[in-house]
Amino acid sequence: MEGGHELKVFETDVGKIGILVCYDVEFPELARLLAERGMQILFVPYWVDTKQSYLRVRLCAQARAIENECYAVITGSVGNLPRVENIDIQYSQSAVFSPSDFAFPHDAVMAESTPNTEMTLVVDLDLDLLKEVRHEGSVRNFRDRRLDLYKVQWLGRRRD
């Protein structure tokens, strides 16, 4: 496997989405760059085999939702694939996270599935609430950055 060279925001019929695969969500700069390009929903597909690894992805995804005032959706694999080498144990719990402010759940968790259970998680997301929290929220993490002191800049190839 080889890492990519692009970071894209996809315009969809439900809003602007970004995708960070598994380990990528553990680097806050990537989600910030997506947010600066208008991302409203961050999707984080992952594959992990332990709860510790899962928690690293989960907690980082939740932090990205709070930092960038967006929704973050995580999902992984459960069960086992007996004839696939090194994929015999998996850990997963799908979840949807929100910014942490009055318009959202008190723990910034919109919904979550039962751990290690095959199921479909359906959540209604209000994109207007993201605009509201960015302009009138009790804390405006995205707006209040000290751009006079630092910046995050993409150096890779860009085609969007």
Quote the pLDDT of residue 90: 86
Residue 56: C-alpha distances to residues 12, 25, 63, 92, 153 (Å): 28, 9, 11, 12, 25
Q: Where are the domains of the chain?
A: 9-136
Of 2 and 153, the structure prediction assigns the larger pLDDT to 153
Structure tokens belonging to residue 90: 């998996």
- If you average pLDDT over residues 35-42, what whole number do you get? 97
Residues 113-150 pLDDT 10s: 999 998 999 999 999 999 999 999 998 888 888 999 99
What pLDDT band is residue 44 in, cutting at 50, 70 and 90? very high
pLDDT at 84 over 80: no
Class of domain 9-136: alpha beta
